[in-house]
Structure 1
């Protein structure tokens, strides 16, 4: 049973091992570890990751306060060598004035007006995939969704002329994600950058492929721009962006922001769609309600950006999938001088953590939390969800810039494919691998059937 202990009261945490702290339990199963901290010790739990002092907070109001205070009395946590190798100095990693500058340059490229211009590409790619499927066929859902969102990401980020480069980018990204997850949960997190483990060597090779492929696309865009060509993709918008002093993003900054946007538009959405299909497979009433809404709103035609608001149940399916399987499963920040949460001082240097996975599965905020119930997001639902209890894209000033893109993409792709097929994967759910995002631990196979 979940503890209702006051968050302001001191709670005993799990006993740490010498030098390692609670790393063994964390590394074994980080998702279960954070749920156990919440259930066994309460809403404010001290724990240790190696020599680092940590606190897990499990109340929505404190998660919201923490997220809102980053870049103020809290600073983003350094998440290790592998994380920085992949994302460089992008907007997710940058801090202070550097972060503010990059956010101002990147944010206009993913505002709702710009996402509207990418909706047609999302629908076109999903419709093309549906055209290759046949009723009765058995498909690997995650592989199909990854290939689809990858195609959408490449076209919206780099333009249609980058088609054909998806394969190397995808393979390198899969390796990078796997190694990042392994490092984050192991002792290598504490090793200095100069130590070369087998995993770090694999990570370097994967990042080298990403650097090469993205550098090629950037050069192509620059050549086209110099020749007077006009493009409407995300990279072109980044190339044209200027800061308050008239300065553009450097080549390295373009690379870093391209990786960041690619992850947001591909990795996040492919896993969200995979989980959504699996959850729908085990919920025939929710699937029937989805079919009814698509028939009523679309009447057999393809959706457009303007349909996004009207497809309320479709959006609730996506939102509920994001609740059960949030792509960002762990968030932390380091306390600076004068930091506090809920009126309680936090010692400088303490890493404060909050977990969307744990929060989203807390029965205090979501009754029957393991159940897939999109109706919990109905406007007249009997149990109101507290503010900050649902935060699959983080929150505060450092919330994921690509959240709107990901939500629109997931809903429109789901609408296109669900009009023509039901993906029957049975009722048993796949296990979860917590890497950069929450990935299925095993293949999710489904039979294509009529909706």
Structure 2
């Protein structure tokens, strides 16, 4: 059990190395590092990352207050060279008035009414994948889920214009993901942008491929729009969007927002589904309840958007997978001149962190936190989850815009595939590699079996 420091109490934390501070421990295993801070020092812990002052907060109310105060008394943290290379100045990276403008332009494209229109594509792509599977076949679950969510992302984001370009886009995104994770966890995160390292050269090469592919797709959309063609994909909505001055997104902004939406619609969902299948494989009772719900509600048909609300257990499976493996595994913001949390002043320029990974595995909020228990999300569960203790997509004004899209996609894909197959991964379990999202550290192999009814 962790100790809570009262307001005004001097915070404590681990000793660090000269110059590097706690960077070696953080770089070695950031997930275990945050848990060790929580368990060893309490809910408000001072630590150092190179030359910067840092605080980790582990109370849900502090996390909620921090998330709500970004863009007011706190400002978003500079996410580093690698993130800027990949996302440019997209809505995730932008700040201040630029962020408000871009959020207003992007948000309408991913509202529930628009997500409803993409549900058939999600289910159809999953059904097509299931048609290629055979009982007894051995598959790489992460590869299959990544390929599926990539096809869904390409169709919903770009329509048909990216057909045939999925391979180069996927390879470039995978390379960028690896280099981003390596940059974030090493000393290179402190190096100025002009310093070239082998990893940064690989990152530049991957981004060059993405830039080339995005330029082609955007040009195709612009030509179709000029010819009067009507499209219902996300990129077309971004092309048609206008700000308060009646100005559209520039070509560079279209590129940045397309990559941002692609990452949100592909990377986060593919890993969530991978973890969900691995967790279900080790939980026969949860898997049986999933089969029963799908049989009762769907009866063998493909799910539609309205079925999202009719599949509570399927949603709880996804929610529990997101608890154990949150896509956004850490959040940080920098204190402004008048910043405070819980009534306690925070010194200007202090970087305040909160970790969904650590919070989601805190036994105070989630009894038996390492266990996969979708029933903890039942409406009559004996241990209600405190507000802000579960936040896999962040929160506050800068919460992930694509959260609804990702949740609906994960539930519908799980429903389509789960009706026809059980993915048996045996006793082996992949570990976690914390990059841009929480990736498996090795292939998740499974044998396809028919559900037991």
TM-score (norm 1): 0.99
Q: Does 1:276 align with 2:291?
A: no
Structure-2 residue corresponding to 1:189? 189
Query: Unaligned stretches of 5+ in structure 2?
Result: none
Counterpart of 1:442 in 2: which secondary structure? coil
User: Could you tell me which residue of structure 2 aligns to residue 34 of structure 1?
Assistant: 34
1:74 and 2:74 equivalent?
A: yes
Task: Measure, in 2, the Cα distance between the counterparts of 1:385 and 1:36.
Answer: 22
Provide structure 1 residue ranges, at least 5 long, that are not aligned to the other structure. Answer: none
Secondary structure at the aligned position of 1:78 is classed as coil
Tell me if structure 2 keeps the 8 A contact 1:7–1:43: no
For residues 354-381 of structure 1, the C-alpha deviation after alignment (integer angstroms, 9 at most, x for no partner) is: 0000000000000000000000000000
- Within 5 Å, give how 1:350-369 maps onto structure 2: 350-369=350-369
SS in 2 for 1:353: strand
Matched-pair contact (CA < 8 Å) for 1:6–1:43? no
Query: What corresponds to 2:239 in structure 1?
Result: 239
How many residues are aligned here? Answer: 451
Q: Secondary structure at the match of 2:305?
A: coil
Query: Which residue number corresponds to residue 107 of structure 1?
Result: 107
Q: Which residue of 2 aligns with 1:309?
A: 309
Aligned counterparts of 2:376 and 2:7: Cα–Cα separation in 1: 26
Alignment of 1:268-417 (within 5 A): 268-417=268-417
1:85: which partner in 2?
Answer: 85
Residues 23 and 50 in structure 2, CA contact (< 8 A), matched pair in contact too? yes
- The 3-state SS of whatever aligns with 2:309 is helix
Shift of 1:162: 1.5
Note if contact 2:150-2:166 (Cα within 8 Å) is conserved in structure 1: yes
Q: Which residue of 2 aligns with 1:9?
A: 9
1:193 and 1:300 map into 2 onto residues whose CA distance is 54
Deviations 1:265-307 (A, max 9, x none): 0000000000000000000000000000000100111100010
- Secondary structure at the counterpart of residue 332 of structure 1: strand
Aligned to 1:156: 156
Distance in 1 between the 2:145 and 2:6 partners?
A: 43
Cα pair distance change 1:6/1:421, threshold 3 Å: farther
Q: Over residues 25-79 of structure 1, what are the superposed CA-to-partner deviations in whole Å (9 max), with x where a residue is unaligned? A: 0000000000000000000000000000000000000000000000000000001
TM-score, normalization by structure 2: 0.99
Alignment of 1:433-444 (within 5 A): 433-444=433-444
Q: Please identify, of 421-430 and 185-194, the stretch whose mean Cα deviation from structure 2 is larger.
A: 421-430
SS at match of 2:391: coil
Are residue 227 (structure 1) and residue 227 (structure 2) matched? Answer: yes
SS in 2 for 1:54: strand
Note the C-alpha offset of 1:427.
3.6
